[in-house]
Amino acid sequence: MSGIVGAMRRLVLLLAVLVLASGCARTTVEGSPVAQPVLDVASPFEQKDPGTDSSESEDPDNPEDPENAPIDGEITPTCAKLKWTDLPYPGAKAETPPTQINYDSTFEESCRWTTKVDNVEVGVSLRVREGKQITIERTTGEWDVKDHKVSYLDRTGEEDVEPSCVVALPYNGGGLGIIVIDSTGKFGSVCDQGRKIAEVMIDRETA
């Protein structure tokens, strides 16, 4: 009889240990933070001033509605070198101004040309920095374009951004940044478009 009682006590003790262990394990799991994926929404260009609030800079992957975007002031010298007719998109005239001017306060010049093709927004933006080259936080590769070392980042395979290509090159004693956004696939790859724009701007660098 005493053997049966002893066995029952050991069984009760074992069950108590198992319940306690499972309770501790459950508490540990429930109390552990779960990391959420971070969307890549930061500007691919390095900031002019580390203390600058990046929220003031426009996100190139989420442009504003071009139909409601005002033109701010006169077109700036470097932006004036690129025309709508230099871009592959149909229907524009050379004298039509960019969709937006001076929209990114972290650069001396900024401008962009955006339109819709089959209800899909496509476009190109330029950013200019005086006296200092523009660099990209990470790159896919480099081109040698007319004695200019041109860095680029191909973002067509990234899930959290529109298919785009980021280009940076030394320009007129400073730096030029180019972003092409195009998910239509109708005008060649985004980085082919970016390289062609870089070639146009280099041809007109001293103009």
- Tell me whether strands 148-154 and 100-101 are parallel, antiparallel or unpaired: unpaired
Q: 57-61, 150-154, 156-160, 179-183: which has the minimum mean pLDDT? A: 57-61
Other CB atoms within 10 A of residue 180 CB:
28
Distance of alpha carbon 12 from alpha carbon 16, whole angstroms: 6
Q: Model confidence at 157, in pLDDT bands (50, 70, 90)?
A: confident
Is residue 192 within 8 Å of 154, Cβ to Cβ?
no
**One-letter amino acid for residue 28 of the chain:** T
- Rounded Cα distance between 22 and 108, Å, is 61
Helix (H) or strand (E) holding 13, with range, is: helix 2-31
Least confident of 19-23, 58-62, 131-135: 19-23
Please tell me the least confidently modeled range out of 36-50, 65-79, 88-102, 141-155: 36-50
Q: How confident is the model at residue 190 (pLDDT cuts 50, 70, 90)?
A: very high
- Of all residues in the chain, the percent with pLDDT exceeding 90 is 56
pLDDT per position as a tens digit, 83-100: 999 999 988 899 999 999
What confidence score (pLDDT) does residue 103 get?
Answer: 87
Distance CA 103, CA 127 (A): 10
Burial (CB count <10 Å: 0-12, 13-18, 19+), residue 57: buried
